[in-house]
């Protein structure tokens, strides 16, 4: 179940801790372990998290706590996911539609082949 985030531009570390369900010190630790996580800092040096940072933290928590990944394993999984997203973004939208259509056709053909066997 996806968690609905408040409609804000920035979140303070205490708010993020409540949303994610971990203590602020855990968030600061994860920041040192996951290079993808880079919250902004206000002139007062307080961390300011954007929605994408909070979503990333929720994914980190899911990988570590629900899926049982180690820190290193979660780090690798997040890098793979980001790499896949970049690859998909490189394809023009029309190419993505064709790729999706071809994938569906391939599955349909495999189903027909099974029926004929």
Per the domain annotation, does 85 fall within a domain? yes
- Residues contacting 107, CB < 8 A, separation 6+: none
Q: What is the pLDDT of residues 30-52, one digit of tens each?
A: 999 999 999 999 999 999 999 99
Handedness of CA 9, 14, 19, 23 (dihedral sign): positive
Per the domain annotation, does 76 fall within a domain? yes
Of 103 and 85, the structure prediction assigns the larger pLDDT to 103
Per the domain annotation, does 99 fall within a domain? no
Per the domain annotation, does 82 fall within a domain? yes
- Residues contacting 17, CB < 8 A, separation 6+: 23, 24, 26, 27
CATH of the domain at 29: 1.10.1660.10
Per the domain annotation, does 104 fall within a domain? no
Distance CA 92, CA 78 (A): 24
What is the model's pLDDT at position 101?
A: 79
Residue-range definition of the domain harbouring residue 25: 11-89
Domain count, the chain: 1
Can you give the pTM of this predicted structure? Answer: 0.69
């Amino acid at each position: 179940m996806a968690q609905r985030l408040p409609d804000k531009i920035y979140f303070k570390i205490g708010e993020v801790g409540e949303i994610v369900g971990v203590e602020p010190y855990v968030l600061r630790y994860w920041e040192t372990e996951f290079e993808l996580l880079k919250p902004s800092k206000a002139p007062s040096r307080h961390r300011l998290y954007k929605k994408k940072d909070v979503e990333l933290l929720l994914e980190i928590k899911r990988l570590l706590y629900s899926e049982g990944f180690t820190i290193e394993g979660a780090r690798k999984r997040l890098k793979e996911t980001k790499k896949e997203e970049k690859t998909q973004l490189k394809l023009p939208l029309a190419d993505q539609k064709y790729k999706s259509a071809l994938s569906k056709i391939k599955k349909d053909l495999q189903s027909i082949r099974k029926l004929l066997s």
